[in-house]
Structure 1
Amino acid sequence: MHAVALTRGLPIDDEQSLVDAELPDPTPGPRDVLVEVRAASVNPVDVKQRAASPELAEPRVLGFDGAGVVRAVGSEVTLFAQGDEVWWAGQLDRQGSDADLQLVDERIVGRKPSSLSFAEAAALPLTAITAWESLFDKLGLTETSEGSLLVVGATGGVGSIMLQLVRELVPGMRTVATASNDDNERWVRSLGASAAVDHHADLVAQTLEAEPDGVDWIFSAHSAGRAADYAHMLRPFGAVVAIDSAKDVDLDALKPKSQSWHWELMFTRPMQRTPDMIRQHELLDAVADLVDVGRVTSTVQTILSGWDAATFREAHRFVESGRTVGKVVVQR
């Protein structure tokens, strides 16, 4: 099969940072589906994994979002059959979706929404899982929850689907979303944000202007040096859920008001082979249902065509710029 491979960490402008390669077709294990990938998105995790990679003995295929068609199934697969259209977010410890074919455990695969193209669908799995687990597993929100949520990183892939999930599944919630310009503000408000603030300016003052009594919960994609600010904005017993790998986080700032800090990594269930891995299959199907009835839309904003290393390098450049809104997807 053809694949776009990583062999060593290099700047994305280096033509060797991602290369075209011919690799053996993979063979499904007992719980695997073998999927013909039709589209794959590029996430910040792809950029980080590529840039930090040592020189590798074997080519590595990145890609953690995909949509495609099942071509074969393992001996114990019960959820899917050959010909099914599916979407998924893969694993850090397996080959990824930047290839013709990919093996994915059926328990982290969902049915592709019938109303979306493959490119539109590929934008959502990783971010939808991250947003869902953040809101409902980590923060413990329910359909009857009331209060306010600050979304830091609201224009990114996770923030863009999170705003929609809150709007549709937690109707009593007010959301304050970060947006650094008028176009970004229009974007977050179109997805359900109650108010918009500029995180490049005085985030605390603007947030408290929107929510004078403070916010009840914070989602953070940009946490470095923010713990004291978050503690100040959060009400007593409030909670933060963060998805970045911030090193400068002083959690002592949260203690006076008995606030809590949660980490979210959507790869935990598949990498740790937890007994509830199938929850990711279930929530992907739940999101597919929301999409097909028009309650949630794809967050793709940039679609690149060309199943080769040059196109994936271009997609990495977009994401690495830090200025993308929504998701970047590569399609065949």
Structure 2
Amino acid sequence: MKAVGFKTSLPINETTSFIEFETEIPQPLGRELLIRIEAVSVNPIDYKIRQNSAKETVLATPKIIGWDAAGIVEAIGSEVTLFGVGDKVYYAGDLNKQGSNAAYQVINERIVGKKPVSLSMEEAAVMPLTGVTAWEILFDRIRIHPEKDKGKTLLIIGGAGGVGSIAIQLAKELAGLTVIATASRPETIAWCEEQGADVVVNHKDLVNEVRNAGFEYVDFIVDFASTNLYWDSMVELIKPQGHIASITGSNEPVQLNLLKTKSVSFSWELMYTRSMFETDDMIEQHHILNKMSELFDAGVLKSTLNKTLVGLTADNFKEAHRLLESGKTIGKIAIKY
């Protein structure tokens, strides 16, 4: 099968930052599905792994990355119960497994969902990683309850990115929250408003912007941009007994003691935790994807696809990574095979 990968970590403008090559089609075992991939998406995690996973070495076999895909089930393992051959599916993959930048991939059925009927393959392919991340941070980490928390305030730092875009939709449509999103350019402000944000504020002066918009404190904060950069602002803006959650990690200790006087909770979110550790509730991601699929088909949610490249080629992956590394992308980028 055809695949795109890399043997060493190089700047994206280097000729061999991505290479095309042929490799064997993997075979599904146990609860695995073999997927014929029709479209994929590219996320920040892709370029971060490309930049760092082979810095001081040249791999004998190219590394295939990619953690978003939509396609058709070609074969199933002996223990599969959730899908059959011919089913159309979408999923975000597994950091422990070969990625989706290839013609075929094997993936555990417990982290795969039924593709929304109303979405094209590329519209569906951009949604699993960001959708599951947003769902988990809101409903599994912060544990927002649509009835108990309806009308409460949520500040989304990084509203125009992939996770922020679908988080706005979920927070508005499922949880009934008042959503404040951050953006600074006219086009990103407009995008956040299109996703349903009630208020858009500039992250460059976050505390004053939120206060000037009429909010002294907010009930919940989700960070999709930089824990370190916005930590002091989040501490200041969070309501006593509120909850902050982040997906961005930290390159220095996070001063959790600053949350003590307000009795504020803090959570990390990584959507790969369930698959990496094969947690007891790993199948929950299958359920989340299926719930989202129903919401897409009902018109409650909409795909955040904003750009499509065509063809399983090294050049297309270089372009997608280049765009993401610029930090200027809005919504999601798909590559349609």
Find the partner of 2:321 among 299, 316, 327.
Answer: 316
C-alpha distance in 2 between matches for 1:226 and 1:179: 14
Partners of 1:280 and 1:31 in 2: how far apart? 15
Partner of 2:29: 29
Q: Which runs of 5+ in 1 are unaligned?
A: none
CA contact (8 A) 1:227 1:251 kept: no
2:201 corresponding residue in structure 1: 197
Q: What secondary structure does 2:11 align onto?
A: coil
Residue 119 of structure 2 is aligned to residue 95 of structure 1: no
Shift of 1:59: 1.8
TM superposition shift of 1:23: 1.0
- Select which of 77, 86, 90 maps to 1:74: 77
The residue that corresponds to 1:230 in the other structure is 234
1:1-332 aligned within 5 A? 1-54=1-54, 55=57, 56-144=59-147, 145-146=149-150, 147-171=152-176, 173-199=177-203, 201-221=204-224, 222-248=226-252, 249-332=254-337
- Work out whether residues 64 and 96 of structure 1, in 8 Å CA contact, stay in contact via their aligned partners in 2: yes
Give the deviation of 1:213 after TM superposition: 2.8
Percent identity at matched positions?
A: 43
Q: Secondary structure at the match of 2:196?
A: coil
Paired letter, 1:157? G
Note the C-alpha offset of 1:207. Answer: 1.1
Deviation at 1:211, TM superposition (A): 4.0
Task: Tell me how far apart the structure 2 counterparts of residues 175 and 165 of structure 1 sit (CA, whole Å).
Answer: 10
Give the count of matched residue pairs.
330
Q: Which amino acid aligns with 1:89?
A: A
Question: CA separation in 2, counterparts of 1:207 and 1:115?
Answer: 37
| Matched residue type, 1:67 | A
Instruction: Give the residue type in structure 2 aligned to 1:226.
Output: Y
Deviation at 1:245, TM superposition (A): 2.1
Matched-pair contact (CA < 8 Å) for 2:210–2:216: no
**1:256–1:117 CA distance, 2 compared to 1 (3 A):** same
8 Å CA contact 1:228–1:250 kept in 2: the answer is no
Contact between 1:227 and 1:254, CA under 8 Å: does it hold in 2? no
Which segment drifts farther, 98-107 or 244-253?
244-253
3-state DSSP class of the match of 1:218? Answer: strand
| Secondary structure of the structure 1 residue equivalent to 2:229 | coil
Deviation at 1:191, TM superposition (A): 1.1
CA RMSD between the two structures: 1.0
Residue 183 (structure 1) shift: 1.7
Runs of 4+ in 1 over 3 A off after TM superposition: none
Letter in 2 for 1:175: V
Deviations for 1:167-195, whole angstroms, at most 9, x for unmatched residues?
11112x11100111222111111111110
Q: 1:227 touches 1:253 (CA, 8 Å); kept in 2?
A: no
For residues 7 and 211 of structure 1, the distance between their equivalents in structure 2, rounded to whole angstroms, comes to 52
Cα deviations by residue, 1:45-103 (Å, 9 ceiling, x for unpaired): 00100011223343211110000000000000011111110000101110011000001
CA distance in 2, matches of 1:212, 1:158: 23
- Aligned partners of 1:228 and 1:254 also within 8 Å: no
TM (norm. structure 2) is 0.96
Structure 2 unaligned segments of length 5 or more: list them.
Answer: none
